[in-house]
Amino acid sequence: MTASLPPLIQAMVQPQFYPHPVQTPIRLLQTHISYVLLTGDYAYKVKKPADFGFLNFSTLERRHFFCQEELRLNQRLCPDLYLQVLGIEQNPDASETSAGAYGWSRGEGRICDYAIQMRQFDQAQLFSHLFAENALTLELMIQLGKQLAQFHAQAATSPDITAFGSPAAVQTIVENSYGLGQGFIGRSQTAAQFEATKAFTDQFFQEHGAWLQERQILGKIRECHGDIHLNNICLFKGLIQIFDCIEFNQEFRNIDVIYDAAFLVMDLQFRGRPDLANTFLNAYLEWSNDYQGAVLLPLYLSMRAYIRGNVNSLALNDPAIPDSDKVTIAQTAADYYHQAWAYTQPQTGALYVMVGISGSGKSTVARQIAQQTHGIQIRSDAVRKHLAGLALDQRGDDAGAWGTGIYTPELTQKTYDRLLELGIFLAKQGATVILDAKYDRQALRQTLISQASAKEIPLKFIYCTAPVEVLHDRLNQRQGDIADATSKILAAQIAAFEPFSLAEQAWLHTINTTQELGPQLGELLSSNPE
């Protein structure tokens, strides 16, 4: 096998090539565009001289440029992994296949190629491996959602970058994808499924082009990662690292931030873990305050799945792949195409509205409803802090004095107005939305009933209850949450709570959060909102 490798890679699999201790044998990993050599403490990546049109590493100058780009882009998300770009010299006096034929550049010889030096991480810490071991937790998904939201907030944007998110530019990506996929009709997708998926996206651009233009105005087109899936995420020294950003194509990288996040949502759903996908998505939306961007998910999720269908289908044309393997590949491609179609199917929106005082378990119940309904959970704690321009992990009151800081009546009303606006808008577009707030006033609940009825949106209030002593214990033990409420305010909240009117009770479902939630949620979700 080694003999079939290029002479440079033959040299790099030999321990004496490196000026530092290595673990032998040196492991060589290959993709269609690069070689990766694992030496123990360090990994080295060499780009293949490939030209696929959308990617061109065919010249030494191009490989040098894209090595530098890969270093620059990936150091944004994982600076501890990506170290430097190193030149490789060829010794003109040595045989091309000898151990001394190549070496790291010292500025004396002719550089023949370049390598990116990285810290090597334990492959068992890849999220894809953790997933296979059932070790990918909801807490990791929350951390990842927060981390990606913070990255997107800082990612570069400019008029040139923003232009990549125009309706015409996005539609061109979609049309190119369908143009490629059309060649696999009858092999890994059916004609009917192809036409139905394409009809959805055609209609989406026709009806919602203004949404894409608004994203441009809001600065949501940024220099993103472009390839976020479980194989490109790992743990290194206990921290999440999102690596292997797309450096070779601006069109794939300069995208809407919600399209960047959509890849991982699709990946987790495809792998049969919608609960992980939902937890990641809601954490991302909460920290990014990009709830309105969720209306683009049917389009962007379908695009992501369809592209994966194309990528897998392309392998069917590779003569080097045995026909026996192509059976499995064709099925995987068909599954992706089917998922792309499934995202285009119309959904009926609904509003689940949490009701209860602090510590009653509203957010815990809301999170579980969201996971089981693929819903979007919108917490008043997050909305309030975003409106106030406050970091979510920063306290919003003055020295713990409730009713001060961001907890004024004026900002409270703005918070509930925003919850109403987001809930109605998203549910009207087919999303299930869980509004997570106290909703302790009849006027707030009546407004929701009126608005939902006018828009023909199904609605249900979920009233969470627990004994007062339990509420005190929960609030006293609360740590690491964005909510600021403490047990000091319970008496005032209880006194201010307005009971449900007879009319409101038609939409009411009560949950005792000190009892097992599973059966209660099962009963709740078995009946559709009114």
Q: What is the pLDDT of residues 271-287, one digit of tens each?
A: 999 999 999 999 999 99
Cα 448 versus chain centre, distance: 30
Tell me the per-residue pLDDT of 236-245, one tens digit each, with 9 for 90 and over.
Answer: 999 999 999 9
pLDDT given for residue 98 in this prediction: 60
Token pair in block for residue 225: 């990662």
8 A C-beta contact, residue 85 and residue 67: yes
The reported pLDDT for the residue numbered 234 is 97
User: Can you list the residues of the chain whose pLDDT is less than 50?
Assistant: 399-400
CA distances in angstroms from 497 to 237, 356, 462, listed in the order given: 47, 8, 15
Q: What is the pLDDT of residue 3?
A: 59
Q: Answer whether 349's CB lies under 8 Å from 465's CB.
A: no
User: What does the pLDDT read at residue 399?
Assistant: 44
Does an H or E element contain 459, and which? strand 459-465
Whole-angstrom CA distances from 88 to 28, 207, 331 are 18, 53, 42
Q: What is the pLDDT of residue 238?
A: 93
Q: What local confidence, expressed as pLDDT, does residue 402 receive?
A: 56
pLDDT at residue 163 in the model: 98
Evaluate whether the domain defined by 127-342 bears CATH number 3.90.1200.
yes
Q: What is the pLDDT of residue 233?
A: 98
Q: What is the pLDDT of residue 526?
A: 87
Dump pLDDT digits (tens) for 183-217: 999 999 999 999 999 999 999 999 999 999 999 99
For domain 350-526, say whether CATH 3.40.50.1100 is its number: no
* Spatial distance between the Cα atoms of 438 and 338, rounded to a whole number of angstroms: 40
Helix-, strand-, coil-residue percentages of the chain, each rounded to 5: 50, 15, 30
Residue spans per domain, the chain: 2-120, 127-342, 350-526
Beta strands in 313-373 (DSSP E): 350-355
